[in-house]
Structure 1
Amino acid sequence: MPSMINIQRRRLLKFTGLTAAMAAVYPFLSYAEGMIGMGNQASSDFDPDVEIELKQEVVDIPIFRGPETRVWKVFGKVLRGPETAIVNHAESYIAPTIQLQKGQKVRIILKNNLPAQSILHWHGLHVPSKMDGNPMYAINQGQTFVYEFKVLNRAGFYWYHAHTHSVTAKQVYSGLAGLFIVSDQEEQALDLPKGEYDVALAIQDRTFDDQNQLYYNNHMMQRMQGFLGNQIVVNGQPDYVLPVASRAYRLRLLNGSNSRIYKLAWDDGTPITVIGVDGGLLEHPERRAYIMLAPGERREIWMDFSGKAVGTELTLRSLSFDGSMSGGMMGGMHGGMGMGMMGRMRGRMMGGMHGGMMSGGDLPLGGDYAVLKVRVSKQVQAQDKLPERLSAIKPLRLQDAANADSPRNILLSMRHMSALLNGRSYAMDDIRDDEIIPVNTLQAIAFDNGFSGGMGMGGMMMSMPHPMHMHGEQFQVLKREIDPRFRAGYETVEAGFVDSGWKDTILVMPGEKVTVLKPFNDYKGVFMYHCHNLEHEDMGMMRDFLVK
């Protein structure tokens, strides 16, 4: 950790030298205020409806029998406003759930009591640049950062997590992530399941050693593929069982894993009814045999357990799929070998290297395994009916984009032990001309994961799925295109994409190009875009847009 912090400090010295020049060109930017370790204080002219204190601490919690597990945990307290704004999870490493209403003004006071720098990002929220949790604002142990913003987002299932430069993966893995739920009048007018029948579920994978401690080793293979744990945990609990009544539920699913992608389906073949995605409710329910859920993505589903006897059990599984290191040269070298087989080989290799703690060996990427179990525990009488219309969403149009004739193309690549965007690695002081965007414009952006060629690792073709996330306002998906060489693997996942509604994270498969329409409204400043495979992000697959 100290060596990483020293690297950050050296970069900041270089970064600080650019402050005067940047301020002259972009006077609205105040980089001096945003240097690592400077913190941020409350504004005298900001009158919050809700004020929350979040403290980050190192604690031991009981996850298994035997020794307690050391984690980095967030504790929340409401200082002003309704007590329901915070729900702490005392016996889990999961950070508090924050519950707010659209239109509320919120002040969040982050106190860092960890032996490291840290900062939190509000994933999916449309907030000012300085309140977004950019790594440049990381605070030291003992320091405080005060966030102040108005909740502009529609009702939806958002989340928050650490976003500290080069150590985001380890910090999120250690416990620095929580749920963020926003409600509004449109949603409240619907007769959707509420209270105990509205359940949020954070799905993650972890590896624990024989002393019940979290195991994370940043070895080369883990960095290149991303961390894969050998155990699924839900809301911080292993072998998770959700007790339900015989009625309809609203289940909110978050993929909070570092890198694992899930292909979720009910084991009895019941279709999954999707009612919401990253940015809230869809216009109409959509049914899928399975749904793909990449790191950072959320799905809200309607599940009706009425008519099922007490004791009935259902399992939500992740089905097998081909993450595809096939196509091109790798396809020729491995005979079309998919990510599932590659993951199993990797697991066996890592198991040998690490004394049997197979980082993903028991649960390879693209394997088939249980995620959580649902057990009907009581009978109730309910008249639940799924609304045919859920929300009104205005579709964005390509012809309204400022760059309709020339979408911004972002090439995703793994090369020379680096994860790159348009051949560039992350740096705080490296905004290029093609990363400057006029405020209050709609932009067409294409994420190209080898569709147009150009992927590579040395002289070899190396392509992996990349869940791409953009900070700031959410976007809509315009189209997907797939290189025919990757078609066989792609067919194992494509029926599970839910591209309707508002999104902030999009899974881009090998050989695929996904074009989205993203507004850049209201706020000027620096907003990140990056791969939400957190190991890839820490390897440099992250850049900044400058909105001016």
Structure 2
Amino acid sequence: MTAINTSRRRFLQQSALAAAMVNFPSVLLAGTGGLKRAATPGFNPDLEIEFIAQTAQIPILANGPTTRVQKFSATLLKGPQQALQQLPGNYLGPILNFQQGQKVRIFFKNSLNEASIIHWHGLHVPQHSDGHPMYSIEPGQQFVYEFEVLNRAGTSFYHSHSHNLTAEQVYRGLAGLITVSDGDEQKLDLPSGEFDLPLVIQDRSFNEQNQLQYVHKMHDRMQGFLGDTILVNGKPNAEFRVKSRAYRFRAANGSNSRIYKLGWDDGTPLTVIGTDACLLGKPETRPYIMLAPGERVDLWLDFSGRAVADKLVMYSLPFSGTLPGMAENMQKRGGMGMMHHALPQGGKFAIATFSVTEKVNDSPKLPETLVPFQRLTLQDVDNSDSPLPIAISMQPMRPLVNGKSFAMDKVMDFERVALGSIKRIRIFHDHEMHGGGMGMMKGMRHRNAQHEADDSSSGNKMGMGGMMMDMAHPIHLHGQQYQILRRVTDKVRSTDYAGVKDGFVDSGWKDTVLVMPGEEVEIIKPFQDYKGLFLYHCHNLEHEDFGMMRQFLVE
């Protein structure tokens, strides 16, 4: 980034923050906003951690030079040692192990040469600790996070969230895993210790000097970055040496835009015990698991009965239909300046090998039920007849949400929601290219009533431009997790959808959902506990940086 660009970005951010304080004074100036530079008197943390974002040289590939990365480093200042699990020689940040009810204070120091801020993806925290890009700090500055862990047991992760810088900073290493435990989980005999392992999946590209290569061509960025090397827990050619017993693997898609279809090479089904920051009510088995950027699944992988020296390979299995048809074809054979891609979106490739190295007989049994789960229904919402819209569209060179690009200091009327409310939200593709999303939204209530009567009348107007640019989008909502009410699939391409639909695990709490081209997803989301500005956006990180992001104002 040039000095001119840095100065301009700093000016724009400071201007946006100032405008936000004018537009939302009750939120930003009443103890929930403003840049937190120092610890709050009277907040007595159980955990205190110092985080530093900095550049580093890390050995990622087996041979040759080290790789220059951006890395989160952390030091435990107060609390149990197990709260911070270091990963030596790794570009990923340390694993944070939280307990429900803990009070946490984190001092974040920016030692990069550009702005940054951390988002605790999946944690339900106050606005000032959520990593909103308005709080991005400049090189040499400090930000203080303070929050209580309200989450139930599950898996989350943290990453950089500075607007226009998120994609490349995450790509260069600014991310790490979070686990939360609680009393309900501790009553279960789930694998723990050496049998509870991370499975952070990312894709990267390297040049001949082992340095990370990022995309800057507009065509590539509009589709999202795709690397040609798969890394698991920060390393290529991942192999896990396992015993003949059950393990818990916490799988997280830490890629910028790549979608994975996880499955065993021998066709053995996968068992899921948790999704997006929370355990399920009961285990679920799938032939494969779809995992979009930002999504997590807790997998119960049982190697009982396997012989020593057995090897199993977990693949990303083939699928199609997540990119516009023309882009998908160009990616496979090249065209319009796009190179043939060694690992196209939807291609088949190995993720990791699991080698059985020891025979044991003390494996835990898969529980029939896991944790208490309350299913939300339309009776719980206060807007059952008028769902809030999240209309996603891909206008040429301009990804939008609800017909708008991101603005830190603006919310639309329907984006203002009452604290304590539970909302029905409709996520869909907006094909009215001429009007963004707003012309379409005027008839929302009427079309929703038709939708209840007849699903076939629920489709968006299929403008040719919108259809040609349709692609899958992983939609992430900050704040509390939500539940998926239903998927409406009458407008999807059935042949493509058949290859992914059995991999969606929609029965648990979610914060990120993959919306396929032509698909509508309805969710029920609580807005409880905290006032403030909470983002919603596409978690294809290139799209997010292009402005495919908006925010709710909870007041």
By the TM > 0.5 criterion, same fold?
A: yes
CA distance in 1, matches of 2:394, 2:463: 6
Bigger drift between 303-312 and 68-77 goes to 303-312
SS of match in other structure, 2:26 = coil
**Deviation by residue 1:342-375 (Cα, 9 ceiling, x = unmatched):** 4313599543xxxxxx6xx111001111111111
- Give yes or no for the alignment of 1:453 onto 2:460: yes
Residue 457 (structure 1) shift: 8.6
Residue 417 (structure 1) shift: 0.5
Residue 491 (structure 1) shift: 1.2
- Give yes or no for the alignment of 1:402 onto 2:390: no
Distance 1:324 1:531, change over 3 A: closer
Q: In the TM superposition, what are the counterparts of 1:366-515 in structure 2 within 5 Å?
A: 366-450=346-430, 452-453=459-460, 461-484=468-491, 486-515=493-522
CA distance in 1, matches of 2:407, 2:159: 20
CA distance in 1, matches of 2:335, 2:203: 14
- Give yes or no for the alignment of 1:109 onto 2:107: yes
The answer to whether the 8 A contact 2:70-2:173 is kept is: yes
Q: In the TM superposition, what are the counterparts of 1:261-280 in structure 2 within 5 Å?
A: 261-280=259-278
The answer to whether the 8 A contact 1:449-1:513 is kept is: yes
Give the corresponding residue for 2:308: 310
Residue 63 (structure 1) shift: 1.5
Distance 1:84 1:32, change over 3 A: closer
The one of 331, 335, 350 aligned to 1:343: 331
SS of match in other structure, 1:11 = helix
Distance 1:43 1:372, change over 3 A: same
**Deviation by residue 1:101-133 (Cα, 9 ceiling, x = unmatched):** 000000011111011100000001110001100
The answer to whether the 8 A contact 2:263-2:269 is kept is: yes
The one of 197, 202, 227 aligned to 2:195: 197
Residue 18 (structure 1) shift: 3.3
CA distance in 2, matches of 1:4, 1:39: 25
Distance 1:194 1:11, change over 3 A: same
The answer to whether the 8 A contact 2:231-2:238 is kept is: yes
Give the corresponding residue for 1:521: 528
Give the corresponding residue for 2:26: 27
Residue 17 (structure 1) shift: 5.5
The answer to whether the 8 A contact 1:227-1:258 is kept is: yes
Distance 1:347 1:291, change over 3 A: farther
CA distance in 2, matches of 1:307, 1:19: 59
CA distance in 1, matches of 2:7, 2:300: 48
**Deviation by residue 1:310-367 (Cα, 9 ceiling, x = unmatched):** 21110110111112456xxx6xxx6xxxx7544313599543xxxxxx6xx1110011
Gapped regions of structure 2 (runs ≥ 5): 431-457
Distance 1:414 1:446, change over 3 A: same
Runs of 4 or more consecutive aligned structure 1 residues displaced over 4 Å after TM superposition = 31-35, 346-349, 454-460
The answer to whether the 8 A contact 2:195-2:246 is kept is: yes
CA distance in 1, matches of 2:288, 2:20: 49
Q: TM-score, normalised by structure 2?
A: 0.91
CA distance in 1, matches of 2:107, 2:202: 27
**Deviation by residue 1:226-255 (Cα, 9 ceiling, x = unmatched):** 000001000110011111011111111000
Residue 98 (structure 1) shift: 0.4
SS of match in other structure, 1:130 = helix
The answer to whether the 8 A contact 2:32-2:532 is kept is: no
Report the residue type matching 2:486 in the other structure.
Answer: K
Report the residue type matching 1:308 in the other structure.
Answer: R
- Give yes or no for the alignment of 1:18 onto 2:19: yes
Give the corresponding residue for 2:45: 48
Q: In the TM superposition, what are the counterparts of 1:250-261 in structure 2 within 5 Å?
A: 250-261=248-259
CA distance in 2, matches of 1:532, 1:41: 31
CA distance in 2, matches of 1:481, 1:453: 12
Bigger drift between 317-326 and 511-520 goes to 317-326
CA distance in 2, matches of 1:214, 1:469: 26
Distance 1:276 1:33, change over 3 A: closer
SS of match in other structure, 2:510 = coil
**Deviation by residue 1:5-56 (Cα, 9 ceiling, x = unmatched):** 3443343454355356425xx5232299956xx5531111110001011111
CA distance in 2, matches of 1:112, 1:514: 38
Report the residue type matching 1:45 in the other structure.
Answer: G
Q: TM-score, normalised by structure 1?
A: 0.92
CA distance in 1, matches of 2:166, 2:554: 24
The answer to whether the 8 A contact 1:466-1:508 is kept is: yes
SS of match in other structure, 1:146 = strand
The answer to whether the 8 A contact 1:226-1:536 is kept is: yes
Distance 1:266 1:489, change over 3 A: same
SS of match in other structure, 1:28 = helix
The answer to whether the 8 A contact 2:33-2:127 is kept is: no
The answer to whether the 8 A contact 2:261-2:291 is kept is: yes
Report the residue type matching 1:430 in the other structure.
Answer: K
CA distance in 2, matches of 1:102, 1:49: 11
CA distance in 1, matches of 2:40, 2:111: 23
Q: In the TM superposition, what are the counterparts of 1:243-254 in structure 2 within 5 Å?
A: 243-254=241-252
CA distance in 2, matches of 1:56, 1:546: 29
Gapped regions of structure 1 (runs ≥ 5): 352-357
Give the corresponding residue for 2:178: 180
CA distance in 2, matches of 1:134, 1:20: 14
Report the residue type matching 1:372 in the other structure.
Answer: A
- How many residue pairs match? The answer is 526
SS of match in other structure, 1:300 = strand
Give the corresponding residue for 2:230: 232
CA distance in 2, matches of 1:29, 1:111: 22
Distance 1:182 1:347, change over 3 A: farther
SS of match in other structure, 1:375 = strand
SS of match in other structure, 1:202 = strand
CA distance in 2, matches of 1:227, 1:142: 29
